[in-house]
Amino acid sequence: MRIDSVGIIVNVKKADAAEVAARLVGRIEAAGKTPLLPEDTAALLGRPELQRDAASVARDSDFIIALGGDGTLLHAARLIGDHERPILGINIGGLGFLTEVPAAEAVDALDSVLAGNFRIEERMMLDVELLRDGHSLCVHRALNDAVITKGALARVLNLEVRVNGEYLISYVSDGLIIATPTGSTAYSLSAGGPIVSPGTKSIILTPICPHTLTNRPIILPDNSAVTVEIQSESEYMMLTIDGQVGIPLGIADRLRVSRSEKRARLIICSGLSYFGVLRKKLDWGGRSRYRHDKSAPV
């Protein structure tokens, strides 16, 4: 991959954001490359000469660094749109399944990418279309999930789900998460959904607090066309895409969800496999590795 320009998307609210971003910009410039910064990042670093509008950062960068938490990487993926620029995620947030490189290793990771020592993982995304009265209101793309939720004081939702036109189930619940395998470790996991390897071609339906115990998460083939119709009349209902976009919903609104032709491209240079990331982030292992060794202390 030829690299001339590097975009940097930063969560400017993070405490260490300015320090880490400044080190990255310095290393990019020292390598003879051009850093491209959106307005808030350029202002944070006091580098107005590097400022570009968001569209230019997405279009003109050879790859993009997302510095923050997973939300920052999701924001970067949304900004990139159809350009499919690779993203290097650097974590100065919390758990960080997508931004797996810790801030302390940010410059080393950048050096690895500039030297060509990396691989790219392609991640499935979803196209999410909202229809009202038979008309398309909007179409969004999701790397993690599309989520239908109710307000804190609103009544439970009745959501009719069809797959490839065939009636599947009516969820009576507080909402529904439609996730990619990448999104299986996000909200879906918190709601009791399964962990699904990113290489698995699937779409995951996870009800939020279902009011019937038999309403369980379902894993569908990735070529499924999922339709969800809102059959509840509630004071407050919302569709959220990757936690980035919120759209109010009404009764009889319909959601059409399918696999996108576009892919997110994540730069991997840590040497960890997906399962290695799971073990690290979820703290699997530890003392449990001694369970079958009777001579080891417990």
Q: What is the mean pLDDT of residues 27-36?
A: 97
Q: How far is CA 258 from the centre of its chain?
A: 16
Tokens coding 164: 């490839």
What was the pLDDT predicted at 60?
Answer: 96
pLDDT at 297 over 70: no
Torsion angles phi and psi, residue 39, rounded to 5:
-55, -45
Instruction: Tell me the catalytic residues.
Output: 70
What was the pLDDT predicted at 1?
Answer: 80
Q: Contact, 218 vs 205, CB < 8 A? A: yes
- Summarize pLDDT for 108-150 with one digit per residue, the tens: 999 999 999 999 999 999 999 999 999 999 999 999 999 999 8
Q: How far apart are CA 147 and CA 134, in angstroms?
A: 21
**Nearest CA among 113, 115, 69, 120 for reference residue 244:** 69
114 or 278, greater pLDDT: 114
Q: Is the pTM of this model over 0.85?
A: yes
Residue 194 carries which side chain, given as an amino acid letter?
A: P
Q: What is the mean pLDDT of residues 21-37?
A: 97
Using CA atoms, how far residue 180 sits from 42, 83, 127, in Å, is 33, 20, 11
Provide the residue count of the chain. 298
Q: How far apart are CA 199 and CA 291, in angstroms?
A: 30
pLDDT at 287 over 60: no
- Domain 5-118+269-287: CATH superfamily is Probable inorganic polyphosphate/atp-NAD kinase; domain 1 (3.40.50.10330)
- Summarize pLDDT for 198-254 with one digit per residue, the tens: 989 999 999 999 998 889 999 999 999 999 999 987 778 999 999 999 999 999 999
What was the pLDDT predicted at 296?
Answer: 45
pLDDT at 261 over 80: yes
Q: What is the mean pLDDT of residues 37-60?
A: 95
Alpha helices in 115-171 (DSSP H): none
- Summarize pLDDT for 157-182 with one digit per residue, the tens: 999 999 999 999 999 999 999 999 99
What was the pLDDT predicted at 291?
Answer: 47
At the topology level, CATH places domain 126-261 in Tumour Suppressor Smad4 (2.60.200)
- Summarize pLDDT for 147-163 with one digit per residue, the tens: 999 877 777 899 999 99
Q: What is the mean pLDDT of residues 75-102?
A: 88
pLDDT at 188 over 50: yes
What was the pLDDT predicted at 292?
Answer: 46
What was the pLDDT predicted at 294?
Answer: 46
Using CA atoms, how far residue 206 sits from 101, 194, 248, 287, in Å, is 29, 9, 20, 31
pLDDT at 69 over 60: yes
Q: What is the mean pLDDT of the chain?
A: 90
> Hey, where are the domains in the chain?
5-118+269-287, 126-261
